[in-house]
Structure 1
Amino acid sequence: MTTNVGIIDRILRAVFGAGLLYIAFLSSLPLVETPFATYGAALIGIVLLATSALKMCPLYSILGIKTCRTC
């Protein structure tokens, strides 16, 4: 696994991931009233947090994208 996610990308992924988890489980927005929307938002949030923590995005690897300067 090679690093392909830069610092700004990691911060944005962590913020959006945490936001989606908050929306999915702690908010009472009508947007996430259905289980499909709730678990979909939670799944996307977990994936964003995981790619942020691991500094590696499988989709970036497939597409050949690197947002880090030192890798």
Structure 2
Amino acid sequence: MSRNVGMADRMVRIVVGLALIAFALRNGLPIKGWDWAGLIGFVPLLTGLFATCPAYSLIGYSSCEKRR
């Protein structure tokens, strides 16, 4: 897959992903109640780390800077 996530977008995804994961793990393991919803944070975290978003690929969007 080619990169389609720009630098600012990557930073936002990483911060949001880490915040959601921290929400899920705030009381430790095992995860109880609605805390499991915070595990959704792995999606933006991984898309930010790998700079590739499958949803962007489907719609043909890229937040990367254009090369000259």
Runs of 4+ in 1 over 6 A off after TM superposition: none
1:52 is aligned, of 48, 55, 64, to 48
The number of residue pairs the alignment matches comes to 65
- The 3-state SS of whatever aligns with 1:40 is helix
Aligned identity (percent) is 35
Q: TM-score, normalised by structure 1?
A: 0.80
**What is the Cα-based RMSD across aligned positions, in Å?**
2.0
- Give the structure with the higher percent helix: 1
Q: 1:30 corresponds to which residue?
A: none
User: What letter matches 2:37 in structure 1?
Assistant: G
Unpaired runs of 5+ residues, structure 2, are none
Unpaired runs of 5+ residues, structure 1, are 28-32
Q: 2:64 corresponds to which residue?
A: 68
Q: 1:39 corresponds to which residue?
A: 36
Q: Distance in 1 between matches of 2:11 and 2:66?
A: 17
User: What letter matches 1:41 in structure 2?
Assistant: G
User: What letter matches 2:65 in structure 1?
Assistant: R
Q: Distance in 2 between matches of 1:38 and 1:5?
A: 28
